[in-house]
Structure 1
Amino acid sequence: MEDERSRRRTARGENRLPPALAVVAALVVYVLLPSSLPFLGRFVIPGVEALLLVALIVTNPRRITRQTRWSRTISIGLAVLVIVSNLLSLGLLIAELSNNAPSGENLLVGAMQIWVTNVIGFALLFWEMDRGGPVARRNMPRLNMPAADWRFSQDENQDTVPEVRRSSSELSGWVPVFIDFLYLSVTNSSAFSPTDTMPLTSRAKVLMAIQATAALLVSLLLVARAVGSLGG
């Protein structure tokens, strides 16, 4: 049984397409912002992110089956760059509200961009952090895998009814993929707190707190101000 579960988990590496599309979406949203909004390096930062993405695709074009120290460093650096540039943009846009406030339409577009990029950036970082990253989650025996940063519902479903139990981590060999971390990021940015996936480590809690705080500022300051300007 253990050999069968291991084969199911390690047979193929994770698909490169979902995380790559997420990065491309963040780049496109950033570049297409209204020119009146004060954003950092409108083309420089996306250009650097695009180069990092190309380097990662060259390493694992279709399936993420191998990992080197530099490829993991680049992948984590790409996620951190997306997050930091987005948080700096959020700070600049909030500061701009006290000077020459952008129009309601532009401000609403900017708020949407920051929220979407916030979701994508943290999803990428969560995906790279948990249990050693996508390659370790697929290839390492569970006893040797780094400690989990998050507990997903599949990690505790082994004691439920048979049709749910079959998809549990213990019975099926399930491990989280990028879509699972994207959902975690969306719910944390929407509810400003954990929902069905719980943080287990201090670093996971700190990152989720930063993400939720940024999303809350977008909702309370930017979206509220934009809606008020449109109403006026």
Structure 2
Amino acid sequence: MTTAHGGPGDPSPSTHDLTEQLHHRLDRIEALLSGEGTPVAGAGASPSQPVWRTKTEGEQRWAVTAAILCAVVLQFFLPSRLSIHPRWMLPALEVGLLLALAAMHPHRRLDRNTRVLRSLSLALVAAISLANGWSALKLVRELLHGGGAAGALSLLSTAGAVWATNVIAFALWYWEWDRGGPAARAEGVADYPDFLFPQMQQSGVAPAEWEPGFLDYLYVAFTNATAFSPTDTMPLSRWAKLTMMLQSAISLLTVLLVVARAVNILQ
């Protein structure tokens, strides 16, 4: 016996529509990644040019500046035993590099790409990562040997500062390396993206001039540190996958050791 929708084994119209939409989405993503499809957004893009190859306005510097200053402040909240001595050295270096970048490029938008600016910017991120990496190693060593903070609240606040700074540091690395950094992304010079954001996959979900900014990379770093895996933004290049894997491993190790130590203290 048949129905108006077809034979006994035919899928329902809703299932068929969902299947067609899924195949259409996969074909669209494949075409975009190969540079042969129609771009989903971006002013001035041609049918043969994906959105990340178009020139856009550089992003404003306020978000990344606020995150860097937050990381510097968090370093001062850490106990002295977890910091590189002299304790003021790396935070002072980070603030100095930030001021140097602002002096060399005193504009609101990050649209200038020179070797000197690029080197200073990467040195700043490296200094933050070095300071926090040292603190994380010292914290893990204390947790493994049962030393360090005697109270659960003190332990959680210290570990939280290290964890939060770690999120900021990896967000800065993602922001600096994806398609060559913020200035290179604004120029649209990269052939392929390192991260595939949802706004790059479907039209109508973001403005035509949408470009990922630091807050988008901060979200990627935060969700990767909490879920221990990518969520809505997929890493495409090998360096992006390895960096996200490293961040997940560090976050997982820190959380497990801190929780175990805190439970032991409370008992």
Deviation per residue, 1:198-222 (Å, 9 max, x gap): 1111111111111111111121002
Matched, 1:52 2:97: yes
Distance in structure 1 (CA, Å) of the matches to 2:177 and 2:190 = 12
Matched, 1:135 2:183: yes
In the TM superposition, residue 14 of structure 1 has moved relative to its aligned partner by 1.1
Question: Residue in 1 aligned with 2:244?
Answer: 208
Distance in structure 1 (CA, Å) of the matches to 2:70 and 2:183 = 23
Structure 2 letter corresponding to 1:45: L
TM-score (norm. length: structure 2): 0.74
Matched, 1:79 2:125: yes
Distance in structure 2 (CA, Å) of the matches to 1:120 and 1:6 = 33
Structure 2 letter corresponding to 1:197: T
Q: 1:224 to 1:146 in 2, by over 3 A?
A: farther
Question: Residue in 2 aligned with 1:5?
Answer: 43
Distance in structure 2 (CA, Å) of the matches to 1:11 and 1:157 = 18
Matched, 1:114 2:162: yes
Most deviating of 144-153 and 209-218? 144-153
Deviation per residue, 1:176-205 (Å, 9 max, x gap): 111110100110011010000011111111
Deviation per residue, 1:56-93 (Å, 9 max, x gap): 11233322121210111111221122123212211111
Q: Is the Cα contact below 8 Å between 1:111 and 1:223 reproduced in 2?
A: no
SS at match of 1:102: coil
Matched, 1:123 2:175: no
Question: Residue in 2 aligned with 1:30?
Answer: 75
Question: Residue in 1 aligned with 2:136?
Answer: 90
Question: Residue in 2 aligned with 1:182?
Answer: 218
In the TM superposition, residue 10 of structure 1 has moved relative to its aligned partner by 5.0
SS at match of 2:112: coil
Distance in structure 2 (CA, Å) of the matches to 1:225 and 1:99 = 8
Return the match for 2:235 from 199, 206, 209.
Answer: 199
Structure 2 letter corresponding to 1:74: L
Give the helix-richer structure, 1 or 2.
1
Question: Residue in 2 aligned with 1:18?
Answer: 63
In the TM superposition, residue 114 of structure 1 has moved relative to its aligned partner by 1.0
Rg larger for: 2
Deviation per residue, 1:124-156 (Å, 9 max, x gap): 11111111111111123xxx3243111111111
Structure 2 letter corresponding to 1:21: A
Structure 1 letter corresponding to 2:174: F
Matched, 1:66 2:104: no
Distance in structure 1 (CA, Å) of the matches to 2:202 and 2:247 = 27
Most deviating of 195-204 and 9-18? 9-18
Distance in structure 1 (CA, Å) of the matches to 2:83 and 2:178 = 31
In the TM superposition, residue 39 of structure 1 has moved relative to its aligned partner by 2.2
Distance in structure 2 (CA, Å) of the matches to 1:215 and 1:201 = 21
Distance in structure 2 (CA, Å) of the matches to 1:106 and 1:34 = 10
Return the match for 2:147 from 100, 114, 117.
Answer: 100
Distance in structure 2 (CA, Å) of the matches to 1:28 and 1:151 = 32
SS at match of 1:105: helix
* Structure 2: stretches of 5+ with no match in the other structure: 1-38, 46-53
Structure 1 letter corresponding to 2:158: G
Question: Residue in 1 aligned with 2:34?
Answer: none
Structure 1 letter corresponding to 2:66: L
Q: Is the Cα contact below 8 Å between 1:193 and 1:212 reproduced in 2?
A: yes
TM-score (norm. length: structure 1): 0.84
- The share of aligned pairs that are identical, in percent, is 40
In the TM superposition, residue 29 of structure 1 has moved relative to its aligned partner by 0.8
In the TM superposition, residue 20 of structure 1 has moved relative to its aligned partner by 0.5
